Structure 1
Amino acid sequence: MGLRFSDICVDANDVRALAAWWAEVLGWPAEDTDDGDVVLRAPGGVGPDWLFLAVPEGKAVKNRIHFDLTPDDQQAEVERVIGLGARRVDIGQGEQTWVVLADPEGNEFCILAAES
């Protein structure tokens, strides 16, 4: 196959602030691009980079795609990420083993149960 998954693109009103927030959450380095965007580089080149792109409009509806993050300790990570500015959201998930949160610009993501 001639394709490689290289970037996940995240629209943002404030690319620097949102990229800095996710850099703190993930522990990944952030770099400015020549185009004025910000990229988070996947450590060791494993997985796609996250590219934050400036858009004028705010998020209006539930994400059609989202991130699932697997922690070592779910409760500790949920508390840490909420402490950084995430908030719990209800998208109709009911009682589940994962926790649905939103980043500072309202993008939903899940912190899954820790793998055993």
Structure 2
Amino acid sequence: MSLEWEQTVVDAHDPAALGRWWREALGWVVVDDDPRWYEIRPALDRLPGLIFVPVPEAKTGKNRLHLDFRPDDRDAEVDRLLALGATRADIGQGEQHWVVLADPEGNEFCVLSSRRS
């Protein structure tokens, strides 16, 4: 038996707006912008992707699952994401070598320390 990771589903109040934000943040491409969902991937033929689906309720509490990203330059990447509309998030992490941010709908994600050469 074999499994392939196709996508991660993200509940959203406004799937298209949140999907566009993540497309810009990640530099990915739109695969499907159906009125019922919005899907992005690293490239049309690459997996996994993110698919944003509508839900009526707002996010409450800390995410049970979140994404971690390791950039070449953590501080520059945090500044870029904040300029795109991310916000700093406090989930009780204290002082760490990573930065916790939230997307425009409040979903937390981490920007890890810079990649070492």
AA aligned opposite 1:13: H
Distance 2:44 2:12 in 1: 25
What SS does the corresponding residue of 2:53 show, helix, strand or coil? strand
Q: CA deviation at 1:34?
A: 4.7
Residue 37 (1) aligns with residue 37 (2):
yes
Q: Give aligned pairs, total.
A: 116
Map of 2:64 onto structure 1:
64
Map of 2:27 onto structure 1:
27
What SS does the corresponding residue of 1:43 show, helix, strand or coil? coil
Map of 1:81 onto structure 2:
81
Distance 1:110 1:38 in 2: 22
Q: Which runs of 5+ in 1 are unaligned?
A: none
Residue 107 (1) aligns with residue 71 (2):
no
Q: Show structure 1 runs of 4+ deviating over 2 A.
A: 31-36, 42-47
Q: TM-score, normalised by structure 1?
A: 0.93
Q: TM-score, normalised by structure 2?
A: 0.92
Map of 1:2 onto structure 2:
2
Q: Give me the CA root mean square deviation.
A: 1.5
AA aligned opposite 2:23: A
Q: CA deviation at 1:112?
A: 0.4
Distance 1:26 1:34 in 2: 20
**What is the CA deviation profile of residues 62-87 of structure 1, one whole-angstrom value per residue up to 9, with x for unaligned ones?**
00000001111100000000000000
AA aligned opposite 2:97: T
Q: Which runs of 5+ in 2 are unaligned?
A: none
AA aligned opposite 2:60: A
